[in-house]
Structure 1
Amino acid sequence: MPSSRRSSKRPYSAAHRPLEMQRATGGRRQVTRHGEEWTVQPVRGNEKEYVCPGCHHRVAPWTAHVVAWANESIFGEQAALDARRHWHTHCWSIAE
């Protein structure tokens, strides 16, 4: 027997919400620094500890931060991805 409750889903006649690409890609974005293209992705943190290349202090475990990598490398795309670095969010935002 069907439920008598009304569905809370979007009615068939209602318009779809536009896709938010920023959310769909996990916040990943492309930026240009010093004429070089970078991919930057915010992360919530995990149990590993990293050293921020901006301030040379540790990025404590479970601390939200950003991961950045150059889109191109003379050694190839995979080498650029392998050379990614974990930055404090503030350090990345003020890096020149």
Structure 2
Amino acid sequence: MGRRRRPERSPVTPLPQWLSARRVEAGPDGYDYEVKAVPAARAAKAYRCPGCDHEIQPRIAHVVVLPVEHGDIEDRRHWHTACWNNRANRGPTRRWS
């Protein structure tokens, strides 16, 4: 008996803009941050999390954080969701060279 062929997967379609979850949060430094959730299906590249200094692998849900008033698009950062939620409970990350 031969193997069954698996049906081809359809390409991932982007979520509509209105469906993406955006919120504004006040940070412990007194600034406001726009926080946008990135679902795993939309995470296509690897990023370095500034909270833990580990890589966020593709296909891992995370958040994108952008300062509201004092930043531009180059100031956005990709964080693990847990690292962003616990940023006030930990010290700064130290990179070893």
Per the TM superposition, whether the score is higher than 0.5 is yes
Q: Which runs of 4+ in 1 moved over 4 A?
A: none
* RMSD of aligned residue pairs (Cα, Å): 1.8
What SS does the aligned partner of 2:45 have?
A: coil
Deviations 1:21-59 (A, max 9, x none): xxx462100000121010000001422100000000000
Q: What residue in structure 1 maps to residue 74 of structure 2?
A: 82
What percent of counterpart residues are identical? Answer: 38
| Distance in 2 of aligned mates of 1:47 and 1:39 | 21
| Distance in 1 of aligned mates of 2:48 and 2:35 | 17
* Superposition map of 1:1-96 within 5 A: 24=18, 26-33=20-27, 34-45=29-40, 46-73=43-70, 79-96=71-88
Aligned residues: 69
**Normalising by the residue count of structure 1, what TM-score does the alignment of the two structures yield?**
0.65
**Normalising by the residue count of structure 2, what TM-score does the alignment of the two structures yield?**
0.64
Larger Cα Rg: Structure 1 or Structure 2?
1
5+ residue gaps, structure 2: 1-17, 89-97
